[in-house]
Structures are given as C-alpha cells and as structure tokens.
Chains A and B, each alone.
Chain A
Amino acid sequence: MKRLFLFLFFLNIVFASNAQKFMTKNGYLSFFSHTPLEDIKGENNQAAGVLDISSGEMVFQALIKSFHFDKALMEEHFNENYMESDKFPKASFKGKITNLPDVNFSKKGTYDVTVEGDLTIHDVTNKVNVKGTILIDDTGIKANSKFNIVPEDFKIIIPGVVRDKINKDLEIAVNMKYEPLATK
C-alpha cells in the first residue's frame, strides 16, 4: 500500500513537470546572407526544441543535412566545404530565458525575451545572448528570434575570394511552434 502511494506520488510529479514542458519537432531555422551575385538562403524545417516554462530553459537540436537550398550545388558546398556535415552532423543550443518573470504564459500576448546560452555549430561552442519574442495565442506557444553570427567564430573557413563577396555575419532566424509535451 505504501509502495502504491509512493508510485502515485511519483506519477504525479512526472505529470506535473511534463505539463510545464512544450516541444516541437517541426521547428524552422534559416540562415541568410546577401551577396551582390545572389542571396544565399538555407532552410531547415526539422529542428527539435523543448521549452520548459517553469524554468525558462530552452533546448534546440538540428541536423545540418536538413538545411535545404534552392540550388543543389549550394547545398553540396554548404555540407561538404563549410559545415563538414559528415564529421559534425548536428547543431545545438542550450540556454535560458533570462527575463522569465516578464512572460505570463497563461495570458495571450507577445513578450520580448532575452535568451542566453551555448550555441554549438561545427563542433565549436560559443556563448550567445539573443533577443526574441514569445507569442502566446489560441494555438499555443511560439518562439521567434533573429540574430547574427560570424562563421569564423565557429571555425567555419570561407575562402578569401568568396569571403569578400558576402557579409561578415550571417542572419539566423528561429521560428518555433510548441505543443504541450504528450504525457504517456
């Protein structure tokens, strides 16, 4: 009887803590760079992300090979020459909303947030501090952000001839539509 009670107690904790977690497996990530010749844009619709609204913790993971380019050759160069996706298949982010008290997850609206954490690309980890928004509406929780990174910070080498033609930093966009984590 005591054991059953304990079991129910733990079950309750699991359910309660899961109710605070939201996730997506269809997250959108893109990077964009303008060049005089053409715009370079890669899009990934398969990013996985978890948001814990009680602690403000955010985790993202994505496969480099899931980035899709309009042109086949561009995608090949991205994977083989720059990201070396066979060697470093994943990119990830682990961080926290620093101004969590400003967000009321039970009230519809748009909230400005700052997220701080570790961004790992090309097996190099850098601390980043980015601004974004949390949008709460009928469909759930959405998180959006746009920020810039410098490829060289992640030891991504772009040859001089090409380097001079593209901006020093690339624009990264993040769009997540979270759903409550299913409790099973």
Chain B
Amino acid sequence: MKLYIKIALFAVSFVAISAILAALYMFNLKHTDMSKAKPDFIVSATDLQKEFELNETAASARYINKILEVTGTITSITHADSNYLNISLKTGSDISNVICTFPAVGDLSMLKTGEEITLRGQCSGFLMDVLLNNCAKVTKRNKE
C-alpha cells in the first residue's frame, strides 16, 4: 500500500473516531455543577421574589435560565419521594417564597429551618413562588 493511502486512511479513521467520541460526550454530558459555576446574578431571596411579583415579564426575561446566587433564610425543607430536596426561602411575602430544588440530599441533611443559606441554581421562572433548579449550596470556599 502506498504511503499516502495509509496516511489518508489513518486521517479518515481518526476523524471518524473523534466525531463518535465527541457525539457520545455531548450526549452524556451532565448538568453544570452549580457549586463551581459562575453566577450571572447575586441576589437576596426577598429582592428576587419582589422583582417577580412587581413585574413578572421583566423579571422572567432577566432571570430565566440564568444562574443565580441567592441568600435567604430557610422556611421549610421538604424531602421528595425521589432523591430530591426542596428548600423554601423566606421573602417579604407571606404566600410566595423562593423554592429551590437540590438534585441530591448529600450534606444538606444538616440544614434546619431558620438558618441562613447561600445557594446557586438555575431559575425556571415564577409560578406562585420563584423556582430554582439544579441547586447547590455555596460554602465560603467556593463563594464568588
């Protein structure tokens, strides 16, 4: 076999294998690790809820799909049937909170109502509360 054919074959198979590996990588890609992600906005739970209550359209355009770093006081902790945990944060409203869903319970089992927490999550929008998903607790070490 001529050398240039060998080189061409090698190049083609190299490209093909890389393409398959890249596709597999994309396909299996997990979500951004929020404990390491850079937040788009840093806001308190009270201010965040107020913004949505005053002007939902504007707040939606500003925050949805963005990574928010939110600080607030825990009003309730709800364990779901699945391996998820919901934490509600206190706001200026009696009926509307910021609800944050954590994909894994992990070291969150230590948390108690009344404690202050800083977390990062992706904003899904506003239902009766401001909803954050894929949340992770922010510790002093990985704080911005």
- Is the pair A61, B127 in contact by a Cβ cutoff of 8 Å? yes
B27 touching A46, Cβ below 8 Å: no
B131 cross-chain contacts in A, Cβ below 8 A: 46, 63, 65-66
Interface residues on A, range: 20 to 34
Residues of chain B lying within 8 A (CB to CB) of residue A175? 81
Q: A73 and B29: CB pair below 8 A?
A: yes
Does A123 lie at the interface of the complex (its beta carbon under 8 Å from any beta carbon of B)? no
B89 → chain A closest CB, angstroms:
12
**A99-141 contacts to B (CB < 8 Å):** none
Cross-chain contact A28 with B80 (CB below 8 angstroms): yes
Interchain CA distance A25-B84 in the complex, whole Å = 14
Contact B127 A45 (CB under 8 A): no
A62 and B103 within 8 A (CB): no
B124 touches A48 (CB 8 A): no
Contact digits for A33-64, partner B, Cβ 8 Å, 1 yes 0 no: 00000000001011010000000000001110
- Does A184 interact with chain B (Cβ within 8 Å)? yes
Closest CB of chain B to A170's CB: distance in Å? 18
Q: How far is the CA of A68 from the CA of B86 in the complex (A)?
A: 13
Q: Which of A30, A48, A66 has the most CB of B within 10 A?
A: A66
Tell me which of A25, A62, A63 has the highest count of chain B C-beta atoms within 10 A of its own C-beta.
Answer: A25
A73: chain B residues at CB < 8 Å are 26-27, 29
Least Cβ–Cβ distance between B21 and chain A, in angstroms: 15
Q: Does A151 contact B (CB under 8 A)?
A: no
Contacting pair A72 B124 (CB below 8 A): no
**Which of chain B's residues has its CB closest to A41's CB?**
B82
Contacts of A43 in B (CB 8 A): 82, 84
Instruction: Kindly report which residue of chain A lies nearest to residue B78, judged by CB atoms.
Output: A26
Q: What's the least CB distance linking A103 to chain B, in Å?
A: 22
For B128, the chain A residues whose CB sits under 8 A away are 25, 48, 61
Cβ B82 vs Cβ A28 within 8 A: yes
B64 at interface by CB-CB < 8 Å? yes
